Structure 1
Amino acid sequence: MNLKITLFITILFLCSSCWQGKQKENNAAMHTTYTNPILDAGAEPWAILHNGKYYYTQGSENKIVIWETSDITDLRNATQKTVWTPTEKSNSEHLWAPEIHHIDNKWYIYYTADDGNMDNHQIYVIENEAANPFEGEFIMKGRVSTDKDNNWAIHASTFEHNGERYMIWCGWQKRRITNEKQCIYIAKMKNPWTLSTERILISQPEYEWERQWVNPDGTKTTYPIYVNEAPQYFFSKNKEKVLIYYSASGSWTPYYCVGLLTADAKSDLTDPASWKKNPLPVIQQVPEKSIHGPGGISFVPSPDRKEWYLLYHARRVPNDGPGGVDSRSPRLHKIEWDEEGIPILNNLTTEGTPLPLMSGTQ
């Protein structure tokens, strides 16, 4: 064989071997790490781990979609299904912040919607008796009546503590006129769709970081809107404190952030005096990392439940501008704990940074 041809074939073989080796390294890295965002678009992310599967959902305008996967960092390849399309005008538009919960062996999805007029937002609950939420059928259980005046109500979440079920949500004290103030409420529940006590106000926007509604470029809503919304239950590592995280300031601004309320686990959670508000946000924008408007949070365990993760949305730009496409996207952040057992959440990583897969991921 010609020496030049032999040399060419040898070089070609070596290059091919190097490429294959590099490809194997890349494939191995792909199976041991993930990067944020975990979906290209989406806000108000929520997920639950049940029987080895994550069921994920996020805000939508006219339907509820859930994703099923054993690896929540691989949502792009997860199975999707539309499980609810409203049939009544009252709850047919602006479907915000759906949450899927497994309660007493049934599936419940809480969501917020209106009839086209955002001033008419209310909380609705649908139920599915199937073992798997991808099977069976969701049926409407009804609107959750939060107070006698049917005030605006959004972002419902539910949790069980010391044998009692609670609902937390965002609502108006009274119908807006010249400005809007969104507050956090709590009440006990008689069943997954009915409150058993009066609503109790536990937080309202009071600090400057809870009252931002004007964007850096000057764009703003037509009137001031001060925001406490999207409450989420969690707990300290030793379970001695109940934690309620909430989002603050306008979600359309880069100033959207996360605040924290704490209560002793043995206290009366329906007593406003039980709750203490952190004077500073626990999560806020990090412009040097191109993380703007972080919020809409929830919490998920790793597949083996040895780790906990923060699920949140953020933008890579300060704001989308008038009429812009919503650029929020969902991200995951592993939780570390401080010396008091409170989650450390202010060390968010830059988009695209390789991060280790969750413990127990197959």
Structure 2
Amino acid sequence: MILSFSCKKKDNNQHEENSIPANTYTNPLLPDGGRPWAVFYKGKYYYLQDAENKIVMWQTEDITDLKNAPSKNIWIPKEKSNAFHIWGPELHRIDNKWYIYYSADDGNTDNHQIYVIENSSEDPFEGEFIMKGRVKTDKDNNWAILPSVFTHKDSLYMIWSGWQKRRIEAETQCIYIARMENPWTLASERVLISKPEYEWERQWISPDGSKAGYPIYVNEDPHYFHTKDKDKVLIYYSASGIWTPYYAVGLLYADTNSDLLNPDSWTKSENPVFSQNEENQVYSTGSPCFIPSPDSEEVYFLYQARPVDKEPYGSLPAKDVDTRSPRMQKMEWGDDGFPVLGEALSEIDKIKKPSGIK
């Protein structure tokens, strides 16, 4: 992959001047927000994204119309240990209950850990979420962020990003997997299945020179999916510094009958499968989340990205400005059964709404 950066300008005023046909939408779905996540359940989409000190949920029948969807705060932490830097909240339906997984800290980002809350209501927009506790990922309580869970062959697994050991001079974020005893407890040791090794996974300096205070090599935000005939388990993840335009999506895959806790079962794509699109002014692409159309005829993926005409290209953790925004587009199936994500679409592209949206 050749890493490059240029400011090729399109006339984004066209986005405002032209009317948008009723059966189409444009990106972004909201003016700002990172690490988008949605679940479709009984005719409604439930949407979450980063919110720093709380968890906010949106409810809508039209995921492309989030700007007009009702939203509310559904969780404000009660303990200092998980009251700050709430990253990547994800909603999952497990054993007829709702669980939200998120990572947070006590004000020091080096102390990030994983937490889970539970709601027994049929509708996650109603009822009350209660704290089930911290998910202990290893005996040394290493840094752990951006958890996700999935069920495979009747077993529940958690995947997340973490440190092999506590940072000293440089930071390396790796992808781990473990089997779960229940939705808030691991049943196995954590297993490392990916660490930053390719050039496109190790970018931490932006073209304008902005960077973290020390080298940070990133594999993070893993999400589960599958091939068309479900013969392979897929894990999409994000790589390189989120504050750089080089933030991109990588892919790990394993045969469906393999031992998912064996690192040798996993193969990593040598190149990113979704990345910046200079021509369309879309940068820092990451965090794909796959959702069905209401009629289940199509599959779309949510992701975060930044426009080139906003500064900074990314927000370092210490900065208040965040230029990320949630976007969505349709995926297709390749001849090999793998998803084809295509190229990141511009903010002036009129995209056909998912089938089944009224």
- TM-score of the superposition, structure 1-length normalised? 0.91
- Residue 35 of structure 2 corresponds to which residue in structure 1? 44
Distance in structure 2 (CA, Å) of the matches to 1:348 and 1:337: 17
Q: Which has the larger radius of gyration?
A: 1
- Residue 277 of structure 1 corresponds to which residue in structure 2? 268
Distance in structure 2 (CA, Å) of the matches to 1:321 and 1:139: 31
Of 315, 338, 342, which residue of structure 1 is paired with 2:334?
Answer: 338
What are the within-5 Å matches in structure 2 for residues 287-326 of structure 1? 287-317=278-308, 319-320=313-314, 323=319, 325-326=321-322
The alignment status of 1:200 with 2:172, answered yes or no, reads: no
The alignment status of 1:77 with 2:68, answered yes or no, reads: yes
The alignment status of 1:266 with 2:257, answered yes or no, reads: yes
What are the within-5 Å matches in structure 2 for residues 1-362 of structure 1? 30-317=21-308, 319-320=313-314, 323=319, 325-362=321-358
- Residue 9 of structure 1 corresponds to which residue in structure 2? none
Residues 36-71 of structure 1: CA distance to partner in whole angstroms, max 9, x if unpaired?
111110000000000000000001110000000000
Contact 1:37 1:352 (C-alpha < 8 Å) held by counterparts? no
- Residue 7 of structure 2 corresponds to which residue in structure 1? none
SS in 2 for 1:288: coil
SS in 2 for 1:244: strand
Distance in structure 1 (CA, Å) of the matches to 2:58 and 2:290: 16
Question: Which amino acid in 2 is paired with 1:84?
Answer: W
Residues 22-46 of structure 1: CA distance to partner in whole angstroms, max 9, x if unpaired?
xxx95xx542111111111000000
Contact 1:36 1:332 (C-alpha < 8 Å) held by counterparts? yes
Residues 280-317 of structure 1: CA distance to partner in whole angstroms, max 9, x if unpaired?
01011111110100002211110111111110010002
Q: CA deviation at 1:344?
A: 0.9
Residues 207-259 of structure 1: CA distance to partner in whole angstroms, max 9, x if unpaired?
01100000101111110000000000000011111100000000000000010
Large movers: runs of 4+ above 6 Å? none
Q: CA deviation at 1:159?
A: 0.3
Distance in structure 2 (CA, Å) of the matches to 1:102 and 1:244: 19
Question: Which sections of structure 1, spanning at least 5 residues, go unmatched?
Answer: 1-24
Contact 2:101 2:114 (C-alpha < 8 Å) held by counterparts? yes
SS in 1 for 2:110: helix
How many corresponding residue pairs?
336
For the aligned residues, what is the CA RMSD? 1.3
Question: Which amino acid in 2 is paired with 1:335?
Answer: M
SS in 2 for 1:141: strand
Question: Which sections of structure 2, spanning at least 5 residues, go unmatched?
Answer: 1-17
Distance in structure 2 (CA, Å) of the matches to 1:338 and 1:50: 27
SS in 2 for 1:119: helix
Question: Which amino acid in 2 is paired with 1:305?
Answer: S
**Taking structure 1 as reference, are residues 324 and 89 closer, same or farther at Cα in structure 2, changes over 3 Å only?**
closer
**Taking structure 1 as reference, are residues 157 and 298 closer, same or farther at Cα in structure 2, changes over 3 Å only?**
same
Residues 105-143 of structure 1: CA distance to partner in whole angstroms, max 9, x if unpaired?
111000100000000000000000111112111000000
Question: Which amino acid in 2 is paired with 1:354?
Answer: K
Question: Which amino acid in 1 is paired with 2:202?
Answer: R
Question: Which amino acid in 1 is paired with 2:49?
Answer: Q
Contact 1:219 1:321 (C-alpha < 8 Å) held by counterparts? no
Question: Which amino acid in 2 is paired with 1:249?
Answer: S
Contact 1:284 1:346 (C-alpha < 8 Å) held by counterparts? no
- TM-score of the superposition, structure 2-length normalised? 0.92
Contact 1:338 1:344 (C-alpha < 8 Å) held by counterparts? yes
From the two aligned structures, give the one with the greater helix fraction.
1
Contact 2:274 2:341 (C-alpha < 8 Å) held by counterparts? yes
Distance in structure 2 (CA, Å) of the matches to 1:320 and 1:51: 36
Question: Which amino acid in 2 is paired with 1:90?
Answer: S
Distance in structure 2 (CA, Å) of the matches to 1:321 and 1:67: 24
Distance in structure 1 (CA, Å) of the matches to 2:282 and 2:58: 25
Q: CA deviation at 1:320?
A: 4.3
Distance in structure 2 (CA, Å) of the matches to 1:346 and 1:90: 40
